[in-house]
Amino acid sequence: MNDYFFLNCTSNDELFLGIGMPISNIELEGTLTLRIAASFSCNNKTGIAPVSMSMTLGSGPFMLSNTRNIFTAIGCDTSASVTNNEYTYGAACLSLCTENVEMSDRNPCSGSGCCQSSIPKGLKSLNILSSTLYYTEVSRFNLCGFAFLADNKSLNFSDWPLSRTPKDVRTG
């Protein structure tokens, strides 16, 4: 068997692809769903604290699905970008709002409090960065901006209220 298809299940009853990429679902047609952490940037009394996220699927046959995934940023006054490791691909989006926007599956990402961008076919690595812009006008209801790659089938906007903080962040 090819080493690229080795799945590690020796830690805490979780299944991993390679080192440190937890698998949350395997579908019979050959799709693996990985839990990838979100990038975030929060504005607090001591300043802005950005946390970026990078990952690579290596040189094997795996790639990120351009039909199942969408790059998403949530927050007011939030700028987010995604590139590959080689910097031959890049996309960005800007999310603005002046009042609290109630995110839900009936009120999906519309540009106010949320923005989305597609990813190209064949993408094997990600660098995600989110940053806050002016936050003084929205700090009473939105302290943090988030950016992440999400599975279109399982993204639930009600899990991402504008009041969310990093302690609320779960991968996947």
What's the pLDDT score for residue 89?
Answer: 84
pLDDT reported for residue 171: 42
Read off the pLDDT band of 5 (50, 70, 90).
low
pLDDT band at 147 (very low <50, low <70, confident <90, very high): confident
Q: Is 74 buried (19+), middle (13-18) or exposed (0-12) by CB count in 10 A?
A: buried
Pairwise pLDDT comparison (170 vs 55), residue with the higher score: 55
Least confident of 47-51, 81-85, 145-149, 150-154: 47-51
Closest CA to 160 of 106, 103, 96: 103
Phi, psi of 18 (to 5 degrees): 65, -140
Neighbours of 109 (CB within 10 A): 21
Output 108 or 47, whichever has higher pLDDT: 108
Residue 172 pLDDT > 50: no
pLDDT computed for residue 125 by the predictor: 80
Mean predicted confidence (pLDDT) in 36-52: 73
pLDDT at 124: 80
State residue 105's pLDDT score.
73
pLDDT band at 170 (very low <50, low <70, confident <90, very high): very low
The residue among 106, 112, 114, 101 whose CA lies nearest residue 163 is: 101
Over residues 88-121, the pLDDT tens digits come to: 888 888 888 888 888 777 767 877 889 898 888 8
The pair of three-digit structure tokens given for residue 39, joined into one six-digit string: 């990038």
